[in-house]
Amino acid sequence: MYKIGDFASILNTSVRTLRYYDEIDLIKPKEIDLFTGYRYYSKDQINDFQIIMLLKEAGFSLEEIKNNKDNFSEELMLKKKNELLKEITNIKTKIKQIDYLRSYITNGKIVLEKEKTNKNNMVLRR
């Protein structure tokens, strides 16, 4: 069994994170000393914590991880994948909008009806 500080050190995380995860019932200590209040974690919980971190990196919220801790499925993973693909599409749309607006910047302002002159000094309107 590992004291919380040792466990945090092994996992390269903070004691504060472990206490928070305990508070939200994400990963509970295996034992809590009734006299000292020390939290103790077991070796098998290292794997549990690493899975939580991988799921977080994959875009799952702590609540999603907690609610599905023992119930992850192919369907749930595909649902998360589709959510992330939708986010990518939304971000690409925003990037296109930024590029569009950049072409209308004049003297620090966005002017949608700006005039440009071509090589023959003719005024062109967009």
8 A C-beta contact, residue 50 and residue 13: no
CA distance linking residue 46 with residue 18, whole number of Å: 12
Read off the pLDDT band of 123 (50, 70, 90). very low
pLDDT tens per residue, range 25-76: 999 999 998 898 889 999 999 999 999 999 999 999 999 999 998 888 999 9
8 A C-beta contact, residue 18 and residue 8: yes
Pick the CATH number of 1-72 from 2.60.260.20, 1.10.132.50, 1.10.10.10, 1.10.1660.10: 1.10.1660.10
